[in-house]
């Protein structure tokens, strides 16, 4: 079943940078789909269109449609708050909010006005376990989140995106600033998480794309060049541009 | 090669010493002012000077009504200018679209801060005292001071808000926050020290100004304290002006004593601002 359907989607920024053209993409539920390709191709833009985070950017024109289940994501009247609770997001740089570790996690509930203590305590533990961080922080939940190492901060961000039990998690180069061990921990978490969540990942390298992808989409200069199962795409790419990119000839 | 690198080193040393000299000079000036005012005025400071009203045509007694008056005016200015200034700063930093209208507002604010204070005084006289009929009063003077203070508060507060990393806002919104929730829970608390500093610097300027209040609310001499906001009041800077220029046979001691009190009042606010800033810096987590 397709979780996300992107139909003939085009986007243009006001400054003329990094536009997307006629993207068609069906992302199946409970899989890990990677969007990869050279920098500046529009991967992040596509990712941020799925939770309407591009509303914050200076977008000139949007065409086409994006569906999350039956929801028309680009509908101007859509309640973006609810949408963003259904779609968690992790960014390239770990952005911990200037709060304690715990409040970073519970902040989403705070925004939603949820005060059910037992449920919140439970969710804190569950999300930290899912992000493979629980053991490291369970005794220091009230310390400032900024006191964590970079790798821990990024796993905290992952836990934060999971705590409200979204359907979809969007990850924009989540391991770009991390050491290999932390990267491995995050990747392992993602492999566990895809049993319950639909994950869309912009990887920080082709190797990571190949390691993690169930489905893979190659995006080059605003166009979707090729889309298929990770296995096919990384072993028998159909398009010459995909092949040359995977071989490291450019990008 | 060797020659030129030696030359560059000498240049560097010269430049550094030059800058150090200039920097020390500014410190020297403020120290000189403080020492001079203190040495001339300290003799006048006594319990009676601070806590009693002037006597004998202001040539004796204290300056309490002026101290209290300046306190009232500063509070009045804060009540009017802080909500307005903070609101404008939040609008400009968080909501204003990047268009012609916003640019005009910004230019207006910049120009507002360039207007000489005596012009504000006349404006206050025309609008608040005469046209709106508040008379020469604390209200009229506070309004005039508030208008003068606004650009300072708006621009420093806006700067403090802008200094909060954009990524905090993006994350908060991505977690399902509204714009206002994001401002209230993250942006404002993070910017608060900078905002407070701006407010204090603005109020400090208001507390020390003479021209805006001399037509709008400051009194030459009042035997008693103002009993309501529509009464005129004595105020430190205006009192200093009066006793320095308008009263023959005024003891120099009292003039400098008054100047010292005003200086302490204003520098004290400055010190509070620095403490807030350095505390916030020590607490900062990013």
CATH number at B104 reads 1.10.3720.10
Cβ neighbours of A98 in B, within 8 Å: 168, 186, 189-190, 284-286
Mean pLDDT of A189-199: 92
CATH number of the domain to which A34 belongs: 3.40.50.300
pLDDT of residue A18: 67
pLDDT of residue B21: 94
pLDDT of residue B1: 53
Angle at B280 between CA B82 and CA B113, to 5 degrees: 35
Count CB neighbours of A204 within 10 A: 19
Residue B49 lies in a domain: no
Q: What is the token pair recorded at A212?
A: 């993690």
Residues B208 and B124 in one domain: yes
B34: domain range?
2-44
- Residue B54 scores a pLDDT above 60: yes
Residues B262 and B135 in one domain: yes
pLDDT of residue A57: 83
pLDDT of residue B206: 93
pLDDT of residue B285: 54
Q: How far is A238 from chain B (nearest CA, A)?
A: 36
Residue A134 lies in a domain: no
Q: What's the pLDDT band for B284 if we cut at 50, 70, 90?
A: low
Cβ neighbours of A161 in B, within 8 Å: 175
pLDDT of residue A58: 82
- Residue B3 scores a pLDDT above 90: no
Q: What is the pLDDT of residues B202-231, one digit of tens each?
A: 999 999 999 999 999 888 888 788 888 988
CB contact under 8 A, A146 and B173: no
Residue A224 lies in a domain: yes
Do A43 and A219 contact (CB within 8 A), yes or no? yes
Q: What is the token pair recorded at B164?
A: 């909060």
Mean pLDDT of A149-172: 93
> Torsion angle of alpha carbons B78, B84, B88, B94, nearest 10°?
80
A121 touches chain B (CB under 8 A): no
pLDDT of residue B277: 82
Average pLDDT, chain B: 90
A63: domain range?
2-96+167-246
Residue B57 lies in a domain: no
- Residue B16 scores a pLDDT above 90: yes
Q: What is the largest CA-CA distance in chain A?
A: 55
B167 touches chain A (CB under 8 A): yes
Q: What is the token pair recorded at A94?
A: 């770990």
Residues B97 and B12 in one domain: no
- Residue A12 scores a pLDDT above 80: yes
Mean pLDDT of B152-157: 94
Do B125 and B215 contact (CB within 8 A), yes or no? yes
Q: What is the pLDDT of residues A199-215, one digit of tens each?
A: 999 998 999 999 999 99
Q: What's the pLDDT band for A226 if we cut at 50, 70, 90?
A: very high
Residue B56 lies in a domain: no
Mean pLDDT of A119-143: 93
Domain count, chain B: 2
Residue A223 lies in a domain: yes
CB contact under 8 A, B176 and A164: yes
pLDDT of residue B86: 96
Residue B214 lies in a domain: yes
Closest residue in B to A79 (Cα–Cα): B176
Closest CA to A82 of A119, A108, A107: A108
Residue B51 lies in a domain: no
Closest residue in A to B189 (Cα–Cα): A98
Residues B32 and B80 in one domain: no
pLDDT of residue B80: 96
Residue A132 lies in a domain: no
Residue B70 lies in a domain: yes
Residues B127 and B213 in one domain: yes
Least confident of A52-61, A71-80, B24-33, B108-117: A52-61
Class of residue A51 by CB neighbours under 10 A (exposed 0-12, middle 13-18, buried 19+): buried
Mean pLDDT of A170-175: 93
| Secondary structure (DSSP) of B184-217 | IIIIHHHHHHHHHHHHHHHHHHHHH-SHHHHTTT
- Alpha-carbon Rg of chain B, whole angstroms? 23
Beta-carbon pairs below 8 A across chains A and B: 63
Residue A136 lies in a domain: no
Residues B25 and B76 in one domain: no
Q: What's the pLDDT band for B98 if we cut at 50, 70, 90?
A: confident
Residue B59 lies in a domain: no
pLDDT of residue B2: 61
Residues 6+ apart with CB under 8 A from A216: A33, A34, A36, A209, A227, A228, A229, A230, A233, A234
Residue B123 lies in a domain: yes
**Residue to test with chain A: of B99, B175, B285, most A Cβ within 10 A:** B175
Helices (H), chain B: 2-41, 47-51, 64-90, 100-112, 117-124, 138-162, 166-174, 179-182, 188-208, 211-214, 236-245, 252-283
Residues B157 and B222 in one domain: yes
Residues B69 and B160 in one domain: yes
Domain count, chain A: 1
Nearest to A95 among B167, B176, B284 (CB): B167
Least confident of A172-176, A246-250, B157-161: A246-250
Which three-class secondary structure state does DSSP give residue A217?
Answer: strand
Helices (H), B130-251: 138-162, 166-174, 179-182, 188-208, 211-214, 236-245
């Amino acid at each position: 079943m397709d979780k996300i359907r992107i139909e003939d989607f085009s986007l243009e920024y006001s400054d003329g940078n990094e536009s997307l053209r006629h993207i068609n993409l069906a992302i199946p539920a409970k899989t890990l789909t990677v969007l990869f390709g050279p920098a500046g191709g529009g991967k992040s833009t596509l990712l941020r269109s799925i939770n309407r985070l591009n509303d914050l950017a200076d977008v000139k024109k949007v065409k086409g449609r994006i569906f999350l289940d039956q929801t028309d994501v680009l509908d101007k009247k859509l309640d973006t708050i609810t949408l963003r609770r259904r779609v968690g997001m992790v960014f390239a740089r770990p952005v911990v909010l200037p709060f304690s570790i715990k409040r970073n996690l519970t902040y989403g509930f705070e925004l939603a006005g949820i005060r059910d203590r037992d449920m919140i305590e439970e969710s804190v533990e569950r999300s930290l376990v899912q992000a493979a961080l629980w053991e490291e922080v369970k005794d220091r939940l009230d310390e400032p989140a900024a006191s964590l190492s970079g790798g821990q901060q990024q796993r905290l961000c992952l836990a934060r995106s999971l705590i409200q039990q979204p359907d979809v998690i969007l990850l924009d180069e989540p391991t770009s600033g991390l050491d290999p061990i932390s990267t491995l921990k995050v990747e392992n978490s993602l492999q566990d998480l895809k049993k319950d969540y639909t994950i869309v990942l912009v990887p920080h390298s082709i190797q990571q794309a190949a390691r993690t992808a169930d489905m893979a989409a190659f995006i080059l200069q605003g166009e979707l060049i090729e889309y298929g199962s990770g296995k096919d795409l990384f072993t028998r790419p159909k398009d010459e541009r995909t092949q040359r990119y995977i071989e490291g000839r450019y990008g | 090669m060797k020659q030129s690198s030696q030359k560059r080193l000498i240049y560097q040393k010269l430049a550094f010493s030059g800058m150090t000299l200039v920097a020390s000079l500014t410190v020297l000036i403020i120290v000189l002012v403080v020492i001079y005012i203190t040495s001339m005025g300290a003799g006048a400071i006594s319990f009676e000077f601070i806590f009693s009203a002037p006597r004998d045509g202001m040539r004796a007694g204290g300056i309490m009504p002026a101290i209290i008056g300046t306190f009232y005016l500063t509070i009045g200015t804060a009540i009017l200018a802080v909500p307005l200034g903070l609101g404008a700063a939040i609008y400009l930093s968080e909501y204003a679209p990047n268009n012609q209208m916003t640019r005009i507002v910004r230019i207006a604010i910049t120009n507002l801060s360039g207007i000489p204070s005596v012009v504000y005084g006349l404006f206050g006289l025309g609008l608040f005292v005469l046209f709106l009929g508040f008379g020469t009063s604390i209200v009229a003077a506070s309004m005039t001071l508030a208008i003068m203070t606004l650009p300072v508060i708006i621009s420093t507060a806006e700067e403090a808000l802008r200094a909060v990393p954009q990524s905090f806002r993006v994350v908060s919104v991505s977690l399902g926050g509204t714009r206002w929730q994001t401002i209230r829970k993250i942006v404002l608390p993070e910017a608060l020290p900078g905002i407070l500093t701006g407010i204090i610097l603005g109020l400090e300027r208001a507390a020390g100004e003479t021209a805006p209040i001399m037509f709008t609310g400051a009194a030459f001499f009042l035997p008693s304290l103002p009993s309501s906001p529509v009464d005129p009041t004595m105020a430190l800077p205006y009192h200093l002006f009066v006793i320095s220029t308008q009263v023959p046979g005024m003891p120099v001691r009292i003039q400098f004593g008054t100047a010292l009190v005003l200086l302490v009042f204003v520098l004290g606010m400055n010190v509070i601002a620095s403490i807030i800033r350095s505390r916030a810096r020590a607490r900062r987590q990013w």
